[in-house]
Amino acid sequence: MIEIGKVVSTHGIKGEIKIISDFPLKEEAFKVGSHIWIGKVSYLITSYRKHKNYDMITLSGFSDINQVLPLINLKVEKNENELNLENVILDQDLLGMKVCDLKGNFLGEVIEVFFASKTNKLLRIRGEKEFLVPYIDSFVPSIDKKNRIVKVNLIEGIL
C-alpha cells in the first residue's frame, strides 16, 4: 500500500470528501471506478474532481455528510499494484537513499522529505552533518532509483 493523501474534511451535505495530496499521479490514483483504502477499509470511487488544492471524491454507498464524518483525518492509501510507478519516484522512495555530490563523494542519506512551504520541498540529509537541500532540478539533477543514489548540486554554504 502507498499513502496518497489524507481526508481533511467534508464538502457539502451529499457525502463528498476533501483530500489533501501531493501524490504525483492523482488522475490515476483517484480514477472513477477504482478503489482506495481509508482506515484499512476499501472504498469504490464514484466521482473525482479537483477544487483549489484539494482532491474531491465521493464513495460508493455514501450520500450524506454524516456517513463520511468518521473518515476525517484518516490516511488515504492505494494498492501499489494498481498504479504504474515504474518511472515515478515517490517521496517515500527517497528515504534511505545515498546522497552524493556531482563528483561522486558520499554526503549522507535522505532521512526526510518535507514541505518548507506550500510549494517548496526539502530533503533532510544526514551525514557527518545534517543539512537541507531544496528538492528541485537545479539542486537534485538526478536520482538513480535502481541503485538508490541521489546526486545533488551543492552551493557554497549548504554544508
Grid cell digits, residue 105: 563523494
Residue 154 CB partners (closer than 8 Å, separation 6+) = 101, 107, 133, 139
- The full set of domains in the chain, from first to last, is 2-82 (2.40.30.60), 91-152 (2.30.30.240)
Q: What is the pLDDT of residue 82?
A: 82
Q: What is the mean pLDDT of each run of 10 residues along the chain (159 residues)?
A: 88 89 84 90 93 91 89 89 77 89 91 81 90 89 90 77
Given this model, what pLDDT does residue 159 score?
A: 61
- Which phi and psi (to 5°) does residue 124 adopt? -95, 125
Place of cell 538508490: 148
List, in sequence order, every residue forming a beta bridge with 10; answer none if it has no partner. 17
Contact 59, 43 (CB under 8 A): yes
